[in-house]
Amino acid sequence: QVQLVESGGGLVQAGGSLGLSCAASGRTFSRNSMGWFRQAPGKEREFVASISWTAGTTNYADSVKVRFTISKDNAKNTVYLQMNNLKPEDTAIYYCAASPRYGYPWYPHEYDYWGQGTQVTVSS
């Protein structure tokens, strides 16, 4: 089992920044990739970014590339998402997820552990 706990969401004005954290515990060594997803009201859950626990390679959705940065601290079993130049369309619940897959897992079904989510609201 792997437990994931997100923190750091909140309300910010357009153009502002927020940082999210995802603390992982349990059998984290069994997961090879970590990802961030988001889900806005009435929309499907969508991929935001992913990172490999070992290699540190990253992947981003085109909509957040350049503005968002995913990183990790292996010693703390924590993954981060730094979000800059936020836009109202970034408003969503953000979820951290863990995947057994290497490479660049993209789809929600490729991840088998999920956090409870944290709300990010960007006002215009």
Distances (CA, A) of 54 to 37, 101, 105, 115, 118: 20, 12, 15, 21, 26
Give per-residue pLDDT as tens, 17-76. 999 999 999 887 778 999 999 999 999 999 999 999 888 999 999 999 999 999 999 999
Res 120: pLDDT: 98
What tokens does 59 get? Answer: 């992947």
Res 27: pLDDT: 82
Res 48: pLDDT: 98
Per the CB < 8 A criterion, the answer to whether 7 and 70 are in contact is no
% pLDDT > 70, the chain: 100
> Kind of pairing, strands 113-114 and 78-83?
unpaired
Give per-residue pLDDT as tens, 60-104. 999 999 999 999 999 999 999 999 999 999 999 999 999 999 889
- Provide the residue type at 56 as one letter: G
